[in-house]
Amino acid sequence: MITSLKLAIVGHANFGKTSLLRALSHNSHFGDVSDKPGTTRHVESIKLSLANNTDITFYDTPGFEDSLALYDYITQILPANTKLDGIDKLTTFLQSPEAENLFNQEAKVIRQVLNCDAAIYVIDVREPVLPKYHDELAILANSDKPILAVLNFTSSKEQNEKEWKRLLSIIGIHAIIGFDAVFPPIDGEEKLYKSLALLIESAKKILDNWLDNITRIRESRNHTANKLIAEALVDVTAFYKMAKSDDKQAVTDMQNKVRLREQKVINDLLQLYQFDSTQESEENLPLIKGRYNADLFNLDALKLMGIHLTKGFVSGATIGASIDLATGGLSFGSAALIGAAVGSLMQTAKHYGSRMRYQLSGYSKLSVDDVIICFLSLRLVQLKESLNYRSHANTSPIRLSKLDKNEWQKGVLPKSLKVARRYSHWSTLNKGTKRNDKKRQSVINQVAQQLR
């Protein structure tokens, strides 16, 4: 049994080797990726360290380019009537002058394969099967190393999967999996490591260990994400301000604080999933890359999310032409209001009881409306789901995942979260926050459970 597993990622230029490694290492900055062939010029490695001092190191390699010429060259330099076996053929090539000149890229690949326990051969299944691919596979097969073929670009419409499988079978490669580096199947990583475990017996322990690790990390990450979201929801629910009903500035200030809180939780989620804020988002997503798309206080965005708007909320909003003009998605905790906003606010007013002192002097409690908090919750959960399945090789803007019918669409806070309305010191947006308050923590845990 070995304790360090070395795997070479090989294949034709531009077939997605570096992208596959980004996906497997969950690192969107690994190497250079572009749609021009010949992007990776040197062998680059990345190590995944596991518990009990075992590790897996992946080696990204330059792509094969002129494999027909390489095949001819290797055949031609071999002594006449040679009985050299596969590996000797390759070492003879590596010692030849052209290994430093014409074929120096290919020599790097072959040298790396010989230094590894196995190779992963990446295939662009959109490509027709050409003689050059036959030749590069035949050269690699000389290495006598186990080879796992990975069919990449499987989510694309053009497919030559059958033809590729036929070629692989001719060469004697029977371990094949589909793994699109940009849109991998949900169980893609598991399948890949299980196939490797069958192929490289001496590494079974390392790979089983890694498989356990993947499951554990995935669950723990999802759990942490739910807690981050729940904490943001508690912060926004317990957030309040005492203000006069015509105090537009108070409304704007509160909205801005809530927006910043949303930005913070989005950044925290991106970081948790090892994405950074260079990720862009689609139009209907909130603030990624410092750019506001759909604002939290925008009625159209709310509707698009399928949130049921309470009667009062809608009338309050429509009278003022937009939410901003009515109450800005915030509600005053008393009926001591005038004009357009009253219709909207009467309904929520009941929740807060009277705050005599402030009411007498014209102040009342301003807090974020249920509907807005439900909207916030929905899009954070959708973002989390999307990150759960997002490949680190994906360079397109982040899209929110679709959800099945969800409780939060009712626009009414669940009881577990509603409690937070009564405890202003639970919100980090208020002064005098007690973050470690036991009851606060327990409510965060309950809300996190509900997000599952």
Ligand X SMILES: Nc1nc2c(ncn2[C@@H]2O[C@H](COP(=O)(O)OP(=O)(O)OP(=O)(O)O)[C@@H](O)[C@H]2O)c(=O)[nH]1
Q: Which is nearer to ligand X, 34 or 220 (CB)?
A: 34
Tokens of 319: 């009278």
Q: State the binding partner of 13 from ligand X, Mg ion, none, CB within 5 to 8 A by kind.
A: ligand X
With contact defined as beta carbons under 8 Å apart, do 374 and 413 qualify? yes
User: Exposed e or buried b for every residue in 392-414, given b needs 16+ CB within 10 A?
Assistant: bbbeeebbbeeeeebebbebebb
Q: State the binding partner of 16 from Mg ion, ligand X, none, CB within 5 to 8 A by kind.
A: ligand X
Q: Closest approach of Cβ 394 to ligand X, in Å?
A: 8
Dist. CA 341–CA 319, nearest whole Å: 8
Q: Is 14 in the site for Mg ion (CB under 5 A)?
A: no
Q: Closest approach of Cβ 123 to Mg ion, in Å?
A: 14
Q: Which is nearer to ligand X, 34 or 49 (CB)?
A: 34
3-state DSSP of the chain: CCCEEEEEEEEECCCCHHHHHHHHHCCCCCCCCCCCCCCCCCCEEEEEECCCCCEEEEEECCCECCHHHHHHHHHHHCCCCCCCCHHHHHHHHHCCHHHCCCCHHHHHHHHHHHCCCEEEEEEECCCCCCHHHHHHHHHHHCCCCCEEEEEECCCCCCCCHHHHHHHHHHHCCCCEEECCCCCCCCCHHHHHHHHHHHHCHHHHHHHHHHHHHHHHHHHHHHHHHHHHHHHHHHHHHHCEEEEECCCHHHHHHHHHHHHHHHHHHHHHHHHHCCCCCCCCECCCCCCECCECCCCCCCHHHHHHCCCCCCHHHHHHHHHCCCHHHHCCCEEECCCCCCCCHHHHHHHHHHHHCCCHHHHHCCEEEEEECHHHHHHHHHHHHHHHHHHHHCCCCCCCCECCCCCCCCHHHHCCCCHHHHHHHHCHHHCCCCCCCCCCCHHHHHHHHHHHHHHC
Q: Closest approach of Cβ 252 to ligand X, in Å?
A: 42
Measured in residues, the chain has a length of 452
Q: Which range, of 36-44, 170-178, 232-240, 358-366, touches Mg ion by CB under 5 A?
A: 36-44
Q: Closest approach of Cβ 37 to Mg ion, in Å?
A: 9
Q: Closest approach of Cβ 105 to Mg ion, in Å?
A: 11
Q: Is 19 in the site for Mg ion (CB under 5 A)?
A: no
Q: Is 331 in the site for Mg ion (CB under 5 A)?
A: no
Q: Closest approach of Cβ 208 to Mg ion, in Å?
A: 29
Q: State the binding partner of 89 from ligand X, Mg ion, none, CB within 5 to 8 A by kind.
A: none
Q: Which residues bind ligand X (CB under 6 A)?
A: 13-19, 33-35, 37-40, 62-63, 152-153, 180-182, 395
Q: Which range, of 35-43, 84-92, 100-108, 396-404, touches Mg ion by CB under 5 A?
A: 35-43
Q: Which is nearer to ligand X, 22 or 379 (CB)?
A: 22
Mask: binding to Mg ion, 343-382, rule CB under 5 A, as x and -? ----------------------------------------
Dist. CA 179–CA 189, nearest whole Å: 8
Q: State the binding partner of 14 from Mg ion, ligand X, none, CB within 5 to 8 A by kind.
A: ligand X
Q: Is 40 in the site for Mg ion (CB under 5 A)?
A: yes
Q: Which is nearer to ligand X, 17 or 421 (CB)?
A: 17
Q: State the binding partner of 37 from ligand X, Mg ion, none, CB within 5 to 8 A by kind.
A: ligand X
Q: Closest approach of Cβ 191 to Mg ion, in Å?
A: 23
Q: Is 386 in the site for Mg ion (CB under 5 A)?
A: no
Dist. CA 352–CA 393, nearest whole Å: 49
Q: Closest approach of Cβ 105 to ligand X, in Å?
A: 9
Q: Which is nearer to Mg ion, 39 or 388 (CB)?
A: 39
Q: Which is nearer to ligand X, 34 or 75 (CB)?
A: 34
Q: Which range, of 34-42, 136-144, 172-180, 385-393, touches Mg ion by CB under 5 A?
A: 34-42
Q: Closest approach of Cβ 135 to ligand X, in Å?
A: 17
Q: Is 18 in the site for Mg ion (CB under 5 A)?
A: yes
Q: State the binding partner of 181 from ligand X, Mg ion, none, CB within 5 to 8 A by kind.
A: ligand X
Q: Which is nearer to ligand X, 161 or 253 (CB)?
A: 161
Instruction: Give the residues lining the site for Mg ion (CB under 5 A).
Output: 17-18, 39-40
